[in-house]
Amino acid sequence: MKYSKRYIAFAVVLILAFLVKLNTWNDEYAEVEPFRGAALQDEVFYPLKARSINEEGALSLVVGEVTYDIEDGLLMGDRMQPMVSLDFAQRFFGCSAKLYEEERIELHYNKDTYIFYVGDPEVKVAGQSKPLLVPPELHENRAYLPLKSLCDFFQCEYSYNQENYQAVISSDVQRGELPVAFDLRGSGRATAVRDQGSDATCWAQASLTALESSLLPEEEEHFSVDHMVENDAFSIDRELGGKYTMAAAYLLSWKGPTTKKAVNHHVQEMHFFDHDDREEIKWAVYQNGGVSTSIYANIATSNLSKSSYYNKKKNAYCYMGEEQPNHEVVIIGWNDHYSKENFTQDVPGDGAFICQNSWGATFGEKGVFYVSYYDTNIGNQGVAYAKIEPADNYDSIYQSDLCGWVGQVGYGKEKMHGANIFCAEQDETIVSAGFYALGKDTNYQLYFVPKYQGVSSLANRVEVASGTLSSAGYYTIPFDKPYTVEKGQEFAVVLAINTPGAERPMAMEYKSDELTKNVDISDGKGYISNNGLDWESVEEKIKGNLCIKAYGKKIKEKN
């Protein structure tokens, strides 16, 4: 009995101790937050769901009879609201939008400037803060703005159906207007002035200056002129000069641009202009950056003071004769009210393009001067760099036109067909094709033949893309889906092109003069057709290569 009483007493002590501990635990953890499903949904579930919607391409924007999707620059944001890229905002609303230091977004629309910050639910305009539906977001180094907020600011009637992820703009979009004056230097989008010295390399200086400007302010680069001059596919002495098509061929073949390190960008789209495209050139500068162009300079050095066409006191230049252009500069802005009295020539009206030269900072206004709108050549052979991508955008490029656009081929009418045959270097998918549009409003259809087995197999082509290109230039067009090819197997890219007013609508490479004497037609296999049915070898008939490229990506291994 004695031991039993001790046992019972010990058990009572243990029970009392447990009750005390239990009470202490309750006191200690009384402030613990309960599980919050809403917080989890906002912070975790919504981004996961948005990612799924973006991967499936389920988000769309309908404007009248036109539908836009993920490939156009739409994105389902992490807060489950439709967002648009800065590129889309520029094209759609007619504005200028740039990202600074991966944080600040500066958007110009008409006379207003909107300042956004990634993650900030407010925007500043005219010194006042306005709320945003959701804050701007950054995805893969690209900035996105809330579509509804932009529609509110720019007075568009907007609705969004959460059931089918479809946004609708039912009213006419009031596109912004260009300012009467604009200068890339004022927004940190003009590069340092180059100095070509005694070398005739203005064509390379201008092209790379315009390219660098197009990357600003997000990326600051200084590309090598020497590499462009010494590593293009042409046979030329650097003292003899060059032209913009040579720079285009170098960049589009991925030989450059290079820094001291390596090629870290690929140019995938260029727009071409001429003297009559004044407004289009302004939009290109406003939205993309510098536009290289040709002028006639009647002297070969920076001492323009000896030229009767140059007013040194006003840094103003105008030539209205018939001489062919012989110098390349970069348009970095304009002023519609720049007085005609500043020019030595009797020009019809006010207005000038602001141009950056390559004669060092001692020339003009620290390397910059003003060229009258009425100059004979300003705007001619103009080039804007509209799409510049990281060097890992594709894994392979298929091409046979290293000298690029040397001439044109056709059948004396606006439409023709061309086909380039390539041999797959590895098991991969072909996802895009590139080609030149040699005039405005060019209509195209792209086709693909994954297993080319002679000319007759071109009849089995499948349409993979189609559309209309408003500006002349070079374009990279994505296919509707990836198409698998096997290593060693030949495949074909077929292009049907229709350029209004053209008799030879397709670009080609061939030996035309001393510059192009190194053109190699043994590296290509191409065909042309008047009707898409009967084909003839472009190498045998014209001794050249078609300017049609293909781009591939490696097949991802399944986990």
Confidence of residue 384 (pLDDT cuts 50, 70, 90): very high
The answer to whether residue 3 scores a pLDDT higher than 90 is no
* Of 12 and 433, the one with more pLDDT: 433
The predicted-structure confidence for 144-164, as pLDDT tens digits, reads as follows 999 999 999 999 999 999 999
Q: Where in the chain is the domain with CATH 3.30.457.10?
A: 40-169
Confidence of residue 238 (pLDDT cuts 50, 70, 90): low
Domain 181-385, CATH number (from 1.25.40.10, 3.40.50.11260, 3.30.70.860, 3.90.70.10): 3.90.70.10
Mean pLDDT of 108-131: 96
- Least confident stretch, 33-42, 236-245, 351-360, 378-387: 33-42
Question: CB atoms < 10 A from the CB of 390, how many?
Answer: 11
pLDDT value of residue 298:
76
Averaged pLDDT of the chain: 90
% of the chain surpassing 70 pLDDT:
90
- Tell me which H or E stretch contains 5: helix 2-28
The answer to whether residue 30 scores a pLDDT higher than 80 is no
Please check whether residue 82 is in contact with residue 142, taking contact to mean a CB–CB distance below 8 angstroms. Answer: no
The predicted-structure confidence for 273-297, as pLDDT tens digits, reads as follows 999 999 999 999 999 999 999 999 8
The answer to whether residue 433 scores a pLDDT higher than 80 is yes
In eight-state DSSP terms, residue 154 is T
Rounded CA separation 241/229 (Å): 9
pLDDT value of residue 558:
64
Please check whether residue 248 is in contact with residue 208, taking contact to mean a CB–CB distance below 8 angstroms. Answer: no
- Class of the 394-554 domain? mainly beta
Mean pLDDT of 84-107: 96
3-state class (DSSP) for residue 322: coil
Confidence of residue 522 (pLDDT cuts 50, 70, 90): confident
Q: Where in the chain is the domain with CATH 3.90.70.10?
A: 181-385
Is residue 53 left, alpha or beta, with left meaning phi > 0 and alpha meaning psi from -120 to 50?
Answer: alpha
The answer to whether residue 143 scores a pLDDT higher than 60 is yes
The answer to whether residue 353 scores a pLDDT higher than 50 is yes
User: Partners of 105 in the beta sheet?
Assistant: 99, 116
pLDDT value of residue 449:
98
pLDDT value of residue 304:
60
Q: What is the Cα 353 distance to its own chain's centre?
A: 23
Rounded CA separation 121/248 (Å): 42
The answer to whether residue 36 scores a pLDDT higher than 80 is no
Rounded CA separation 556/428 (Å): 9
* Of 230 and 448, the one with more pLDDT: 448
The answer to whether residue 24 scores a pLDDT higher than 60 is no
- Class of the 40-169 domain? alpha beta
Q: Where in the chain is the domain with CATH 2.60.120?
A: 394-554
pLDDT value of residue 42:
64
The predicted-structure confidence for 297-314, as pLDDT tens digits, reads as follows 876 555 565 688 999 999
Mean pLDDT of 336-361: 97
Confidence of residue 559 (pLDDT cuts 50, 70, 90): low
The predicted-structure confidence for 477-490, as pLDDT tens digits, reads as follows 999 999 999 999 99
pLDDT value of residue 488:
97
Mean pLDDT of 96-116: 96
In 142-290, where do the E strands start and end? 142-146, 158-161, 166-169, 181-183, 265-273
- Tell me which H or E stretch contains 148: helix 147-153
pLDDT value of residue 13:
42
In 258-364, where do the E strands start and end? 265-273, 291-295, 310-311, 316-317, 327-335, 352-356
% of the chain surpassing 90 pLDDT:
82
- Token pair belonging to 409: 């081929």
The answer to whether residue 4 scores a pLDDT higher than 50 is no
pLDDT value of residue 461:
98
Mean pLDDT of 48-70: 95
pLDDT value of residue 41:
56
Please check whether residue 164 is in contact with residue 95, taking contact to mean a CB–CB distance below 8 angstroms. Answer: no
pLDDT value of residue 299:
64
- Least confident stretch, 143-152, 245-254, 506-515: 506-515
